[in-house]
Chains A and B, each alone.
Chain A
Amino acid sequence: MTEQNIALRSATISVLVENESGVLARVIGLFSGRGYNIDSLTVAPVERDRSKSRITIVTSGTEMVIEQIKAQLGRLVPVYRVQDLSKEGPHLARELALIKVVGTGEARQEALRLADAFRARVIDASTESFIFELTGATDKLDAFLDLMRPLGLAEVSRTGVAAIVRGKATIE
């Protein structure tokens, strides 16, 4: 095996599927059954008539494994298209997090200042807590969470990644 085959890479894969029951279980079963990683997974209908859904998966593996993941996804019967965003030109990837920080005094002030710097919105506040809403790339969210940890980070809910290719090209 060559170096290229051993090196791990992360891949963001978009899958356009028929919106039918069991389709998410097929995708997840494929990953668990064949031992592939799932770092993030999101799914929602994207057509007006709700007939198709888009699944975005962030995974990692050797080049050979990632090619295999794409081929395996492609052979599922309800799958229309598999797109490797990490390969098909530049793309945008975003996720949203709701972050609860509990605290008072100086820590509370510091949390608010940092939230401002990260453009996180305050969507709920009490005398002892904030809930921030933050959208951005995964590493931006990670960085913000790292800063909040010593300041009273209490709970997090993240959506996982949604991603799309730049420019006028589409998945279909």
Chain B
Amino acid sequence: MDGSIKTTEIMKSGAEAVLRALKDQGVDVIFGYPGGAVLPIYDAIFQQNAIRHILVRHEQAAVHAAEGYARSTGKVGVVLVTSGPGATNAVTGLVDALMDSIPIVCLTGQVPTHLIGNDAFQEADTTGITRQATKHNYLVKRSEDLSRVMHEAFHVAKTGRPGPVLIDLPKDILINPAPYAEPSSQPHRSYKPRTTPDARKVAEAVALMKRAERPIVYSGGGVINAGPEAAKLLIEFVRLTGFPCTSTLMGLGAYPASDPQFLGMLGMHGTYEANMVMHGCDVMLNMGARFDDRVTGRLNAFSQGSKKIHVDIDPSSLNKSVMVDVGIVGDATETLRALIAAWKADTHPQDREALAKWWQQIDVWRSKNSLRFTQPHDPGSIIKPQYAIERLYKATRGQAKETYVTTEVGQHQMWAAQHFKFDKPNRWMTSGGLGTMGYGLPAAMGVQVAHPDALVIDIAGEASILMNIQEMGTLAQYRLPVKIFILNNQYMGMVRQWQELLHGNRYSESYSEALPDFVKLAESFHAVGLRAEKVEDLDRVIAEMLAVDRPVIADICVDQKENVFPMIPSGAAHNEMLLGPEHKANSGGYNGGSVTDEGLVLV
């Protein structure tokens, strides 16, 4: 690596070398919170203008904000926090980014090198604590390693399967002079992710798909990770083949939701047609999804009759939980391009007749209209949460602005995924893998920082929003007009739903007692507070929320007992879906008690 250093200059301090490296990596904003160990970096920030610092109110929020920034721009999100409690507060965000493959570089302060291991003030073994919470992490012990490590961290964060990378920076390293070298063009010595698919495997995949009678494209977050070009190629491929397409929660927006070839989301709360298609298909193309348990349901009943093709940039994703027939290690963009070329080159005719029959079957499943709900419209009627999302979606369609949606975690998240239709990638930010309540508000903050003129909405639950509510202060300070749309059902609804279905209606500790008055809460944080209590209030409140150019909390009082359907109970198969309350168990089980003990231990 040393051979590749182009120019070396000596920077006055390590802190200046850090900022220089950020600038050379194209960073324009960082999310952070100061403290003793990082004061040298804050001093360097004060003396420059190239990089903007957004002061959050809690380090966890700094990471989620950086995630929102990264997911909505395709760039690396950058976080700066202090040693000890600053670093430990960031851990949840790091694991969140690890699970959802979000590129983050997190800089943490550390006690000076000579004190490491002495239980010094605000010392924590940050690299030890975050080893399993990051894609990779570094402790910089020598000034001469500093700039190389900074550049390497960005490279590791954004290439291959993206993820969070942490750099622990002892205070003496930040204070002492440090040599600085620009980013090297030389690849990493040991880390060399593969992006180009094996041509033979691509041909094998196409041969399978040409002969498919009941195909499906199951697309995932990897297509979003790969960038907007991958989404374009996905559309091209799906149109070319005439195949139906479904998406995971993390992949929403890559394939336009309004397109007739799209079947909606699949999995635990996916549509009936998407899950029936997965269950009954004969050839499945998994493009950048990871056969998550929310998607597969009971593994030994998952799509037993299909040949499976799996494209993933991470070799460890292949054959991890589901054995596949053709495993392709490659980047989604490159692989989709190769698949399109190979499809066109392969002269074997497609069985169009079988495909037409498959579509007829799909239309029958579709006609169940599995996302249906009933909203009474008499004045004074209670608002159904699904209806609130539907009206919100309709209202945003009329806006000239680009719309970005983040969510917290729970029922509202699922209703947002089901009823808000995304036609473009990078518009939907949600915590899928870790399912972190408190993700949505800071993530929305990061999105709004990246896209100051866009409409950014956090679809929230009244319980989740309280987990990072302090970030209202950040919204006010930076005049970020984020809209917080709370589906207030006065319950940890997702927990209550499981208690209703699996624990005999015993709503243990899931009632949202002693809630704040969200309207007053908004006002005290210099934002606008609105409330809709009845169905006739809803459109007016949405219109007002969208009209103000300030942060808003809209408290939407919704039906407390509504459940998310369809639902594949844990441990059930795709064709054992509950479609609505009429399918619900008499207490203690599904369909007359078919949830097994094995299912009950699953989350």
Contact = CB atoms under 8 A, between A and B. Distances in A.
B131 interface: yes
5 contacts: A75-B314, A75-B315, A77-B136, A77-B190, A78-B191
A92 interface: no
A67 interface: yes
A78 B300 CA distance: 36
B450 interface: no
A71 B320 CA distance: 9
Nearest to A69: B316
Interface string B185-203: 0001111000000000000
A123 B541 CA distance: 87
B190 A18 contact: yes
Given A25-B128, A25-B131, A68-B320, A79 B190 contact: yes
B131 A26 contact: yes
Contacts of A68: 316, 319-320
B190 A29 contact: no
A76 B130 CA distance: 14
Nearest to A32: B132
A25 B131 CA distance: 8
Interface string A25-59: 11001000100000000000000000000000000
Nearest to A22: B127
Contacts of B160: 75
Given A1-B300, A21-B139, A22-B127, A80 B316 contact: no
Interface in A48-106: 64, 67-68, 71-72, 74-80
B317 to A, nearest CB: 8
Interface string B147-170: 000000000100011000000000
Interface of B: 127-128, 131-132, 135-137, 139, 156, 160-161, 188-191, 300, 314-316, 318-320, 323
A159 interface: no
Interface of A: 1, 5, 17-18, 21-22, 25-26, 29, 33, 64, 67-68, 71-72, 74-80
B225 to A, nearest CB: 15
Contacts, number: 48
Contacts of B136: 76-77
A1 B137 CA distance: 37
Nearest to B135: A77
A134 to B, nearest CB: 35
Q: Please list the 8 inter-chain residue pairs (A to B) with the smallest Cβ-Cβ separation, ordered nearest first.
A: A71-B316, A77-B136, A80-B190, A77-B191, A71-B315, A72-B316, A18-B190, A33-B132
A49 to B, nearest CB: 12
A29 B127 contact: no
A157 B132 CA distance: 31
Contact of B316 (A17, A33, A74, A77): A74
B355 to A, nearest CB: 30
Nearest to B137: A22
B190 A5 contact: no
Contacts of B127: 22
A80 B320 CA distance: 22
A75 B320 CA distance: 14
A63 to B, nearest CB: 9
B335 to A, nearest CB: 18
B131 A77 contact: no
Contact of A29 (B132, B156, B161): B132
A56 to B, nearest CB: 18
Contacts of A64: 319, 323
A37 to B, nearest CB: 18
B194 to A, nearest CB: 10
Contacts of A21: 139
Nearest to A16: B190
Contacts of B315: 71, 74-75
Contacts of B128: 25
A29 B131 contact: yes
A151 B162 CA distance: 58
A80 B131 CA distance: 19
A88 to B, nearest CB: 17
A100 to B, nearest CB: 34
Contacts of B137: 22
Given A1-B300, A22-B131, A25-B128, A75 B316 contact: yes
Contacts of B320: 68, 71
A35 B132 CA distance: 14
Contacts of A75: 160-161, 314-316
B36 to A, nearest CB: 25
Indicate the member of B135, B156, B161, B316 with the most A CB atoms within 10 Å.
Answer: B316
B140 to A, nearest CB: 11
B115 to A, nearest CB: 17
